[in-house]
Structure 1
Amino acid sequence: MPRVPSLLSALTLAMLIGGTPLVAHAAETELEQQLVSARQEGSIWTAFALNRHLNPFKLSIDVKDGRATLNGRVESDVQKDLAEQVALSVEGIDSVDNRIEVDSAIAEGNPPGLVQHLEDATLAATVKSKLLWNSNTRGLDIQVRSENGAITLSGNAQTSAAKELAGQLAENTEGVSQVFNHLSISSADSSSSEVQTAVEEARENISDGWITSKVKASFLYSRNLDGLNIEVNTQDGLVTLRGKVLSNAEKRLAMDIARNIRGVRGVDADALLVNS
């Protein structure tokens, strides 16, 4: 990538800090696009799992900006074309990069059942969502794959701490049996990225309703927390937790989860009681 002249860099940073609402809008738009892509991936996974001609095969799916990339192996050209048509049938998918290989020697053997296909699709979408909601991992380039309950993370993280956090978020997801954290640490652009992220977060105006829904969902997704007994309210970015938990460890976990959701300015857990 060519070096950006220092004057242009200064002007760009000045625009970011100068108060334009376009920064917040662009950041929020990018997040929404990522969430849409995650949902579309889940929809394609489900469609493959429900199709008896495709569910015996291990196919991988990656969606970005309405373009689905398919990988894996099938027995025939008919199945390869079918996978492409199924992906195109999902709302919002405009094009497909079909990299599926045809191998007539594939033995179907004992394919994973429909239930496992659906569980893996749901797990991958759940972990992706948690990473996008978290203020410390939302901007990372992370791909999530689930197979028989095992989550594999690949892509880039800016620091070892960010890599570790991504792994912890995946491990703490209900239904995940193990996590293979293959994230690479690439700190080349970390300084400029951290500055931009800090400016964006300062400019974002995330609704209280969005925060409340994501805190509740994160509680329900957590393996070590009974989220059904916790009431969540948000006002001006301040999250208030009420209800009962089984231990001080659960209370601390609930506070940590809420604190790290994007847009949260503080957490009040005085009314979250520990059962004696």
Structure 2
Amino acid sequence: MQFRSLLRIAAPLALAAALTSPAFATDSKTMEASGPAAKAGVYVDDAAITAKVKAALLSEKDISALDVKVSTKEGVVTLSGKVDKPEAGVRALQVASAVEGVKSVQSELQVGTN
């Protein structure tokens, strides 16, 4: 009988301890998550930014979006691959930088035909 009573008390305490552990801690001033929870949020945000940039590039007729690769790390977008003309590379940078959440854009684009 006492074991069950102890279990009823221990389980909620263990849950409370897990939820307040450093892995789920927040900075009280900024209310931003830290630890693994924050990193997961960054990865999700980066994946969303990458998808938005790819979609925006697909809508541009002068850019072969299939030849331009997009990667994002902590809001910084990197474009790589090939474009046909220098103007297409400039336009790709403009399109990417206009996407919400993009902090900056780096170009590793090469001009040339496939």
Give the TM-score, by structure 2 length: 0.69
Larger RCO, structure (CA 8 Å, separation 6 or more):
2
What percentage of aligned pairs have identical amino acids? 22
State the 1:87 CA deviation.
0.6
Structural mapping, 1:67-106, within 5 Å? 67-103=76-112, 106=113
Mark the CA change 1:56 to 1:31 in structure 2 (over 3 Å): closer, same or farther.
closer
Give the TM-score, by structure 1 length: 0.30
Partner of 1:28: 37
One-letter code aligned to 2:22: L
Query: Which stretches of structure 1, 4 residues or longer, exceed 6 Å deviation after superposition?
Result: none
State the 1:27 CA deviation.
1.4
Native 8 Å contact 1:88 1:95 kept in 2: yes
Q: State how far apart, in whole Å, the 1-side matches of 2:73 and 2:98 are.
A: 16
Q: State how far apart, in whole Å, the 1-side matches of 2:71 and 2:54 are.
A: 10
Native 8 Å contact 1:57 1:74 kept in 2: no
Unpaired runs of 5+ residues, structure 2, are 1-16, 26-34
Mark the CA change 1:24 to 1:73 in structure 2 (over 3 Å): closer, same or farther.
same
Q: State how far apart, in whole Å, the 2-side matches of 1:57 and 1:68 are.
A: 16
Partner of 2:7: none
Partner of 2:31: none
Unpaired runs of 5+ residues, structure 1, are 1-17, 108-276
Partner of 2:48: 39
Q: State how far apart, in whole Å, the 2-side matches of 1:100 and 1:56 are.
A: 12
Native 8 Å contact 2:64 2:83 kept in 1: no
One-letter code aligned to 2:57: F
Partner of 1:190: none
Q: State how far apart, in whole Å, the 1-side matches of 2:87 and 2:66 are.
A: 14
Partner of 1:118: none
Q: State how far apart, in whole Å, the 1-side matches of 2:78 and 2:106 are.
A: 5
Partner of 1:172: none
Q: CA RMSD in A?
A: 2.0
Native 8 Å contact 1:61 1:70 kept in 2: yes
Native 8 Å contact 2:86 2:111 kept in 1: yes
